[in-house]
Amino acid sequence: MKIKKAHIDGFGKWHDQDFDFTANPQIIYGPNEAGKTTLMAFLVSILFGFADGRGKNRFAQYIPKDTSSYGGSLLVEVNDQDYLIKRQRGRNGGKVTITDSQGHQGGEQELEKLIGTMNRSLYQALFSFGQRDLAAIDEINREDWQQYLQQLGAVGSAQWDQLIDQYQKDADRLYKPRGRKWPLNQDLHHYADLTDKINHARGKFQRYQDLQADLKSNQKILQQARTELKHQKPVLQQLEHLRQLWSVYHKWRNNQQTSTTGDYLTDQQVITVQELQAKEKEIQRQQENYQQRLTVIDDSHAQPPHQTVQSIQALQRLKERAVELQAEQALQQRQQTRINNWQHELTTIKDRYHHPLPAPLDSRAKSELTQLLNTNSVSRTNDNQLSGDLSRASMFGIVGGFVLFIIGLLVNVPFITALGAIMAFATVMYLYYQRQGSHKNSTTIKDNLPAINAFGQKYGLQDFPPTQWLMMQGDLQRAVELVSQIKTAMQDQQRYNHQLAAFFQQLPSALQKLPLSSVKAKLDDLLEQRQQARQNIQANTREKATIASNLARLNQAYDKVYRQKMILYQQAGVHDDQQFTRYLAQRAAAQSQALASDAYGQQLTAADRQALSRYANKDELMSSFADIQKQIDQLSLTITKAQEKVQQDKVEITSLVEDGTLSNLEQERANLASKIWHEVQEWLHYQLAVEWINKALAGASADRYPAIIRQAEKYFALLTNHRYTKINLTVDGIKVIRADHEAFLVEELSQGTAEQLYISLRLGFVTVMSDQANFPIIIDDGFVNFDNVRRQRMLALLEKIAVKNQVIYFTANERIKELGIKIIDLQALNHE
């Protein structure tokens, strides 16, 4: 590239200024403050962009203070083509336009095509140097050169550098050793996380093993407890059995202890005693019977025998008397009937007159009255008729009574006899009274009032009508008769009653209440009884004698039995039956105990007894039972708990087994590992690609190296007037060989010579690389340490260099003007 012209619109102190770089080398003169540095900065800025406003670059921006326009243009020639590069105020280094000779306009990209990989810093490092750079000669080393060489793109550099950039970016986008956000970094981070999780999940394995161990131990516990339980259960059953047997055993044992005391009578003896007792009782019973019999007999002899005899006679008399009385009683009864009839008649008469009846008139009074009344009665026939009827009935009564009386005698029934007698008597009496009554009835009434009345008064008939007076005389007469008859009959009756009462008093008291009719029969009975009794007494006397002999015999027998019994009682240690009864009860109890004991004994096996014998009492047994029960309960509890634990363990184990977390994590991590490995490989491929390209390029570049050195040696020889012939650029630094083969390190050279060496290397490099990167060489006010000779040589060298590269040389040395070559005088331009 060659800069032909420059036009500054505004840049630092320059504005609207044109420069023509026609000469080569183009020397630009300007003293301090003339704008040399500004112009240099302008050239670089148009090519590579304005400096941005950051940091110290602020001062490299050169924004003009007195004009608004900033920037300018360069007319450059590249590969024989002219381009106008114009750069103005704008972002990112300013707005650039590039116009080729045909007038095609382009921007940044077209500019890039012209300048390739060159950038401001590389350009300044390689193509532009000033006094400061010369002083840095000792900092040059092989690697930097290598770097420069490569950067320059020794071979096809542009394309490969882009690729390197691209790959580096690609690699960096995957992974940076200290990055965080890049995919591989993140994946690695994730991988570490997963590993943590997996390790955590693997912790479950320990848990699993613990659980398995726990399960095993619990199963063992369970089994032990079950075995133990299996052993204990029969023990408990045995104890339960013993517990149930205890009461039996207890009784059996007690029986065992008590049954030894007391010898009882044998059954035979007891039977004998019981027989004796029975005999004794029998004897006693017999004795009692006899005694009773005696008592009965004695009782039956309570009345002395003579009394009985007397009584018989008395009874005989009473009996006779009763027969008499009975006969009279029949008469009395008929008499009574008559009384009744009479009383009835009387009553009828009384009723007929309503007033107390006066006494009947005597025959004189009657005749008086008849006169008074002169009337007669017609009632006489009636009375006669009545009389006839009555007599017929009386006949029947007498005959019937007689017949009855005879029958009664015949059959020896006093009642009938008496009845017959009474009937006959009564009939006779009736007939008698009847005849009396008929006579009294025929009365006459008279009627002669005053006399009558007086008469009435006199005889008490005033209450009755006088007509009746005569007629009623019959009735009155009859009434008097009746009263009299009744009285008589009553007296008779009374007498009879007295007799009867006297009779009854003689009767034995038992018979006193009986009616008379039955008394006789009773008396007969009594008589018979009395006779019987007399016979009995005789029999009893005989019987008593017999009984007495029997009793005597029985007493003997009893004594014998009693003695026998007492012998046995003595043996039994008792004294009487009561005691013996108690003794028997005891003996029976003892026997039943013995029996029970046997029964209990049968319920207990020998083993049971032996087992039970270990226990003094039920409490001991029960406490053993309780102990075992407790143990069994404990075991059951243990089993339940162990079962629960086993179950829990199993459940948890199952959950661990089924927990796919670990597998998932493992596979996830395996997958991630694959991904990571892919990424690592990809990254590695990028990195290796970068390295490979670099190395390949370095290899290719390395060929330039000797050329550069050779070129530099030539220049160095030229500048030092062949004082030095060789340059060695090593990793350690630069060595130079003098013509006399003496080697010097850079540090050993004089400042001027060192600067000459530096310039030689730089220019050598630029020269050799000019086919790759051909840019104007800008040298700023250098060579202050050069004397004129050296400066001459230097300029001569620049002339030489200028054949291939444009050289723009800025200097403040006025003497440059004296050389008579075409220069641009900035001072002059400033003065324009």
Partner 1 sequence: MRFIHTADLHLDSPFLGLTAMPTSLWERVHSSTFMAFQKIVDDAINLQVDFVLISGDIYDRDQQSVAAIDFFTQQCERLNKAQIPVYLLYGNHDYHVVHGTDSLPANVYVFGNQVTTTVLTLANHETVAISGFSYDQRWIEEDQVNGYPQKENTVWHIGMLHGAVQQSTANHYAPFTISELVSKNYDYWALGHIHKHQLLATNPPIVYSGNPQGRHKNEPGQHGYYLVESHGKRLVPHFNAVAGIEWSTVNVTAIPAANLTEFERSLSQQIAAKAKKTPFQLIALTIEGSDHLPSAVRHLLANGDMLEHLQTQNKANNNWWIYDLLIHQQSSLPSMTDLDEDYWQEAAKQVFTPVRIAELTKSLAREADLADKLAALDLEQLKQATTQLLRRED
Contact residues for partner 1, defined by CB under 8 A = 155-156, 160, 163, 167, 175, 177-178, 187-188, 191-192, 195, 202, 204-206, 208, 212, 216, 653, 656-660, 662-664, 666-667, 669-671, 673-678, 680-681, 683-689, 691-700
Which runs of consecutive H residues, i.e. helices, occur in 659-784?
661-702, 704-719, 751-769
As measured in angstroms, the least distance from the Cβ of 159 to partner 1 is 8
**Rounded distance between C-alpha atoms, residue 188 and residue 170, angstroms:** 18
DSSP 187-227: HHHHHHHHHHHHHHHHHHHHHHHHHHHHHHHHHHHHHHHHH
Report the residue number, 622 or 673, with the smaller CB distance to partner 1. Answer: 673
CB of 437 closer than 8 Å to CB of 482? yes
Report the residue number, 163 or 737, with the smaller CB distance to partner 1. Answer: 163
CB of 81 closer than 8 Å to CB of 99? no
As measured in angstroms, the least distance from the Cβ of 158 to partner 1 is 11
**Rounded distance between C-alpha atoms, residue 331 and residue 499, angstroms:** 14
Report the residue number, 105 or 195, with the smaller CB distance to partner 1. Answer: 195
As measured in angstroms, the least distance from the Cβ of 700 to partner 1 is 5
Report the residue number, 386 or 680, with the smaller CB distance to partner 1. Answer: 680
As measured in angstroms, the least distance from the Cβ of 117 to partner 1 is 14
Conformational region of residue 125, where left means phi above 0, alpha means psi within -120 to 50, and beta covers everything else: alpha
As measured in angstroms, the least distance from the Cβ of 801 to partner 1 is 25
As measured in angstroms, the least distance from the Cβ of 205 to partner 1 is 3
Report the residue number, 167 or 558, with the smaller CB distance to partner 1. Answer: 167
As measured in angstroms, the least distance from the Cβ of 793 to partner 1 is 36
Report the residue number, 157 or 394, with the smaller CB distance to partner 1. Answer: 157
Q: How far is CA 241 from the centre of its chain?
A: 36
Characterize 441-480 residue by residue with b for buried, 16 or more Cβ atoms within 10 angstroms of its Cβ, and e for exposed: bbbbbbbbeebbeebbeebebbebebebbbbbbbbbbbbe
Report the residue number, 177 or 356, with the smaller CB distance to partner 1. Answer: 177
CB of 26 closer than 8 Å to CB of 807? yes
CB of 375 closer than 8 Å to CB of 452? no
Report the residue number, 344 or 695, with the smaller CB distance to partner 1. Answer: 695
**Rounded distance between C-alpha atoms, residue 718 and residue 799, angstroms:** 13
Report the residue number, 213 or 626, with the smaller CB distance to partner 1. Answer: 213
Report the residue number, 168 or 391, with the smaller CB distance to partner 1. Answer: 168
Phi, psi dihedral angles at 442 (to 5 degrees): -85, 100
Report the residue number, 299 or 658, with the smaller CB distance to partner 1. Answer: 658
Q: Which of 473, 207, 237 lies closest to 361, judged by CA?
A: 473
As measured in angstroms, the least distance from the Cβ of 124 to partner 1 is 26
Characterize 187-225 residue by residue with b for buried, 16 or more Cβ atoms within 10 angstroms of its Cβ, and e for exposed: bbeebeebeebbeebeebeeebeebeebbeebbebbeeb
Locus of tokens 């300048």: 115
CB of 476 closer than 8 Å to CB of 358? yes
Report the residue number, 23 or 698, with the smaller CB distance to partner 1. Answer: 698
Sheet architecture: strand order including 128-130: 128-130, 777-780, 807-811, 26-29, 823-825
Report the residue number, 126 or 171, with the smaller CB distance to partner 1. Answer: 171
Report the residue number, 202 or 439, with the smaller CB distance to partner 1. Answer: 202
As measured in angstroms, the least distance from the Cβ of 210 to partner 1 is 11
As measured in angstroms, the least distance from the Cβ of 657 to partner 1 is 4
As measured in angstroms, the least distance from the Cβ of 687 to partner 1 is 5
**Rounded distance between C-alpha atoms, residue 785 and residue 755, angstroms:** 8
Q: Which of 527, 59, 591, 523 lies closest to 321, judged by CA?
A: 523
Distances (CA, A) of 372 to 132, 443, 462: 232, 14, 15
As measured in angstroms, the least distance from the Cβ of 177 to partner 1 is 4
Name the DSSP class of 351.
H
As measured in angstroms, the least distance from the Cβ of 703 to partner 1 is 9
Report the residue number, 198 or 365, with the smaller CB distance to partner 1. Answer: 198
As measured in angstroms, the least distance from the Cβ of 680 to partner 1 is 6
Phi, psi dihedral angles at 444 (to 5 degrees): -140, 145
Phi, psi dihedral angles at 7 (to 5 degrees): -130, 125
Report the residue number, 168 or 467, with the smaller CB distance to partner 1. Answer: 168
As measured in angstroms, the least distance from the Cβ of 56 to partner 1 is 35
790 contacts: CB under 8 Å, gap ≥ 6? 719, 752, 756, 783
CB of 4 closer than 8 Å to CB of 76? yes
Q: What angle do CA 792, 795, 801 make, to 5 degrees?
A: 145
Name the DSSP class of 811.
E
SS3 for 710?
helix
Report CA dihedral (594, 599, 605, 609) to the nearest 10 degrees: -40
As measured in angstroms, the least distance from the Cβ of 773 to partner 1 is 14
Report the residue number, 156 or 460, with the smaller CB distance to partner 1. Answer: 156
Q: Which of 457, 206, 473, 483 lies closest to 342, judged by CA?
A: 483
For residue 689 the two structure tokens come to 């690609």
Phi, psi dihedral angles at 728 (to 5 degrees): -115, 115
As measured in angstroms, the least distance from the Cβ of 178 to partner 1 is 8
Report the residue number, 691 or 742, with the smaller CB distance to partner 1. Answer: 691
As measured in angstroms, the least distance from the Cβ of 122 to partner 1 is 20
Q: Which of 55, 62, 49 lies closest to 14, judged by CA?
A: 62
